Amino acid sequence: MAGNTFGTLFTVTTFGESHGPAIGCVIDGCPPGLSLSEADIQPELDRRKPGTSRHVTQRKEPDTVEILSGVYEGKTTGTPIALMIRNQDQRSHDYGNILDTFRPGHADYTYWQKYGIRDPRGGGRSSARLTAPVVGAAAIAKKWLKEKYGTEFIGCMSQLGEIAIPFVGWEHVPNNPFFAANPDIIPELEAYMDGLRKAGDSCGARIDVVARNVPVGLGEPLYDKLDADIAYAMMGINAVKGVEIGAGFRSVAQKGTEHGDELTPQGFSSNNAGGVLGGISTGQDITVSIAIKPTSSIRTPRQSIDRAGNPATVETFGRHDPCVGIRATPIAEAMLALVLMDHALRHRAQCGDVHVDTPQIPARAAQG
């Protein structure tokens, strides 16, 4: 209830702060008998980790994961799987005056108001570093869903600040630091980021994620609808301010004759629904889009107050991502995977084993 557990049947309980001794999580409810080792988890963590390009924070963290429990002789046993990542690069920073003031747009103000206490070390618990254990947990969910149903997760950045990124092909995503599905736009993105860094400013981003080969029938009406849980998962990622499923806000100006996806014996003819109708998966691709706000920790001086309520000017030094959206793609994929994993288990509790039998349309149909 204090909000550090994600999920209901496949639960991920995380712990840790940006600059504490360790971060990690306990995963409960994993089916027994899944082959699992650190080698299944580490690649996902590596996709998210800092320091991989000049456009993200330069903090040096190998993010090496250790499995503390729940696996015996290379198989999950059905008991809790604890993952731990030791923090390595906790060197003392020049925090300037942020210990006594509040960064505009940052959680340090609300944590202090809520708890009456404040851990200023790198944002403490509110740091985006805390997405690492979740990415680790989701690697397990991804593996199980892939083996059981063939479900896969992909994502890309579709806008960086003011620059829209036209979709070219998924194969380009792993080849650039932005997770862009477009090879030609990379120089423009790099120049944009370099300009921001020089200006001491930051920008937002838009990320699209897709789940393919999704079993039909996942999602619980009325309140744990699949899309409701996806919205919850996505809005819970640091800095996210908007979530769309399928046609999203474009639905507002659509007519019913345009929006409602027709069915044929070969499958749906379009995917405005984004793979969810009435809160339950249709078997089509699940398509999600999120808005990420610009980083609040920037070098440009800003007006704020101190703890006593007096006016203060805040400048943030240290190592920060100028666009947290750049590393957000694997995180959004992870959250989507966790939601589907949880609902797969929930579905078979009430309705028995799930099936994947709906005719599919190409993944990008609704977005082309």
117 is a contact residue toward a copy of itself (CB under 8 A): yes
Residues 27 and 6: their CA atoms lie apart, in Å, by 9
Residues 69 and 13: their CA atoms lie apart, in Å, by 14
User: Please, is 313 exposed, middle or buried when counting C-beta atoms within 10 Å of its C-beta (0-12, 13-18, 19+)?
Assistant: exposed
Nearer of residues 97 and 110 to a copy of itself, judged by Cβ: 110
CB of 244 to a copy of itself, least distance (A): 4
Residues 54 and 19: their CA atoms lie apart, in Å, by 22
305 is a contact residue toward a copy of itself (CB under 8 A): yes
Instruction: Write the interaction track for a copy of itself spanning residues 194-223; mark x where CB under 8 A is met and - where it is not.
Output: --x----xxxxxx---------xxxxxxxx
φ, ψ at 148 (rounded to 5°): -85, -45
User: For residue 87, what are the β-bridge partners?
Assistant: none
Contact criterion met (CB below 8 Å) for 300 and 320: no
262 is a contact residue toward a copy of itself (CB under 8 A): yes
Known binding residue 54? Answer is yes
92 is a contact residue toward a copy of itself (CB under 8 A): no
CB of 200 to a copy of itself, least distance (A): 8
Q: Which of residues 157-176 bind a copy of itself (CB under 8 A)?
A: 159, 161-162
284 is a contact residue toward a copy of itself (CB under 8 A): no
39 is a contact residue toward a copy of itself (CB under 8 A): no
Known binding residue 239? Answer is yes
Known binding residue 294? Answer is yes
Nearer of residues 175 and 310 to a copy of itself, judged by Cβ: 310
321 is a contact residue toward a copy of itself (CB under 8 A): no
Contact criterion met (CB below 8 Å) for 156 and 47: no
User: Which residue's structure tokens are 């995963």?
Assistant: 27
Instruction: Choose one: 42-50, 121-129, 171-179, 180-188; the region binding a copy of itself (CB under 8 A).
Output: 121-129
Question: How many CA within 13 A on the CB side of residue 240?
Answer: 25
CB of 308 to a copy of itself, least distance (A): 10
**Residue 349 parent element (H or E):** helix 328-351
Known binding residue 299? Answer is no
**Beta-carbon neighbour count of residue 43 at 10 Å?**
10
Residue of 142, 182, 172, 185 whose CA lies nearest to 40: 142
Binding-site residue positions for NADP(+): 48, 54
Write out the binding residues for FMN: 125-127, 238-239, 278, 293-297, 319
